A and B are shown apart, each in its own frame.
Chain A
């Protein structure tokens, strides 16, 4: 995984795991890899991975069972809330970028609509 160098890596690891949960690659209740294993897989510092997992736990996205490791929350409402948040962020970025080019939200929506229709025709 490529990390941005000017943003704390623990935040990027949190995003990465959250993405996996939203996309269903990590299912509700699934076991998360151990710290060392994740550190090697992501080629990153184990303390940083540890911090990311602890933060995710504090946010209730992961939970730990003593001696067994960490797991994805089984709270599906929580997961769909994460999904909504992610969708919101992407859409917000889209409109913000379009605004830079001078398009209003209404125009941007129409352009998006046209784009989707054109892609479907191909």
Chain B
């Protein structure tokens, strides 16, 4: 299988703080990966680096063979923690904006997702509940026919049924030869949908394994692995 993401000897600092030093990892295409770590372990920074939003890093970051930058943004879809919409914008206006902005955006799929999420296109973004706003943001991300989806905390602060809906939408709409990297603290809820888990601590990857292999060999679930890795 091909490496969709290849990170080699990556170093990155923010101000005086060294966040990563000689980080290596790779991700194959067609996988759903959980990026797990305590708060401040560097999860969001990895997402921003892969999304091409962090500058002045050293080493190598390749996505589908291209160095991360303007070009890779056209096939990397990033779901951020916060969004920058105007509160009085209607969902359909935002969809049209995305459609003009991203060449890989599939408008038909965007409306399919909207219906699946029970959202109305005439609704103003500012009127959505937190859960619905999260569903909408995710819909816009999944409506792109991207090669890599970066989902930063898509399940945080969202009620149980919305979380289930979000997980269903991932399984339904993610492209077979693309990959998803998802950060979350909701271990139980992503347990069954991920291929591999990547544990991060203090800017280092301390475990990168197939979850099915862990279950088969160690009879350990995600939570047990988490405890093993983080409890000292």
Contact = CB atoms under 8 A, between A and B. Distances in A.
Contacts of A43: 164, 167-168, 171, 192-193
A116 interface: no
Interface string A16-36: 000000000000000000001
A36 B193 contact: no
Interface stretch (B101-109, B147-155, B217-225): B217-225
Interface of B: 30-32, 164, 167-168, 171-172, 176, 188, 191-195, 212, 215-216, 219-224
A68 interface: no
Question: Considering residues B32, B176, B192, which has the most beta carbons from chain A within 10 angstroms of its beta carbon?
Answer: B192
Nearest to B193: A45
Contact of A5 (B164, B176, B191, B195): B191
A40 B171 contact: yes
Interface of A: 3, 5-10, 36, 39-40, 42-48, 51
Contact of A6 (B193, B194, B220): B220
Nearest to A37: B172
A6 B176 CA distance: 26
B212 A48 contact: yes
B109 to A, nearest CB: 15
B193 to A, nearest CB: 5
B219 A44 contact: no
A39 B219 CA distance: 22
B108 to A, nearest CB: 18
A112 B220 CA distance: 36
Contacts of B168: 40, 43
